[in-house]
Amino acid sequence: MSTTHRDIADPGYGSADGSGVIYQEDVVRSVWARRLLAALRLVLGFTFFWPFLDKLFGLGYATPSARAWINGGTPAQGFMKNAEGPFAELFKSMAASWADWLFMAGLLGIGIALLAGCGLKLAAIAGAVLLFMMYLAEFPLGQEGMTNPLFDSHWIEALGIAVCAATYAGDTWGLGRWWGRIVGNGILR
């Protein structure tokens, strides 16, 4: 192992500037890789933020105006009440107004964190939980018409957010560097 290699899991590891804060350049050496990771972060952020807006205002894409949350719609309950597969009854029993609030807060929080480049570790955890719950509600194993019996886009999105958090993708084209100076390398980073 070369003397310049450092393990980012080592709590004593810090950036080359001596501040102790890890920056994206410490983890990802290629400028193009950093830019691609930033682009991935922005696309994933919009993937969460857009459904929040559409479900809130009923912009007519996945949610018609009449079913908008501001018009009395139920953004999570409709999905949960139509759950399929072995976990369907669990999700149907959880369909309530608190689920709408939690779902919408998750979409908004994860989307803003990814778009801003701050709080990516929390966004990765929250995103993984939200996406896993959505995956279970649509559990593909044994269902007709599914293109893959185990994996779908929920897995790709969850892994993408985790990669963005692990590589400090918020430092490029985001507020991650500034945020890192404030909160350090902990879970809020």
Confidence band of 2 (pLDDT split at 50, 70, 90): very low
Query: In angstroms, rounded to a whole number, what is the distance separating the alpha carbons of residues 44 and 167?
Result: 15
pLDDT at 147: 80
Residue 50 has pLDDT above 90, yes or no: yes
Q: Are residues 148 and 82 in contact, defined by beta-carbon separation less than 8 angstroms?
A: no
Residue 187 has pLDDT above 90, yes or no: yes
Q: Are residues 158 and 132 in contact, defined by beta-carbon separation less than 8 angstroms?
A: yes
pLDDT at 8: 44
Q: Are residues 110 and 177 in contact, defined by beta-carbon separation less than 8 angstroms?
A: no
Mean pLDDT of 122-150: 88
Residue 168 forms part of a structural domain? yes
Confidence band of 17 (pLDDT split at 50, 70, 90): low
Residue 162 forms part of a structural domain? yes
Residue 138 forms part of a structural domain? yes
Domain hosting 176: range is 48-183
pLDDT at 95: 94
Residue 127 forms part of a structural domain? yes
Confidence band of 28 (pLDDT split at 50, 70, 90): very high
Residue 144 has pLDDT above 90, yes or no: no
Query: In angstroms, rounded to a whole number, what is the distance separating the alpha carbons of residues 120 and 163?
Result: 10
Residue 41 forms part of a structural domain? no
Number of domains in the chain: 1
Residue with tokens 């080592």: 10
Query: In angstroms, rounded to a whole number, what is the distance separating the alpha carbons of residues 21 and 78?
Result: 43
Residue 9 has pLDDT above 50, yes or no: no
- 3-state per-residue secondary structure call for the chain: CCCCCCCCCCCCCCCCCCCCCCCHHHHCCCHHHHHHHHHHHHHHHHHHHHHHHHHHHCCCCCCCHHHCHHHCCCCCHHHHHCCCCCCHHHHHHHCCHHHHHHHHHHHHHHHHHHHHCCCHHHHHHHHHHHHHHHHHHCCCCCCCCCCCCCCCHHHHHHHHHHHHHHCCHHHCCCCHHHHHHHHCCCCCC
pLDDT at 84: 82
Residue 69 forms part of a structural domain? yes
Residue 16 forms part of a structural domain? no
pLDDT at 161: 98
Residue 32 forms part of a structural domain? no
pLDDT at 5: 41
Confidence band of 150 (pLDDT split at 50, 70, 90): confident
Q: Are residues 154 and 132 in contact, defined by beta-carbon separation less than 8 angstroms?
A: yes
pLDDT at 81: 92
Query: In angstroms, rounded to a whole number, what is the distance separating the alpha carbons of residues 67 and 115?
Result: 26
> Which pLDDT tens digit goes with each residue over 80-104?
998 888 899 999 999 999 999 999 9
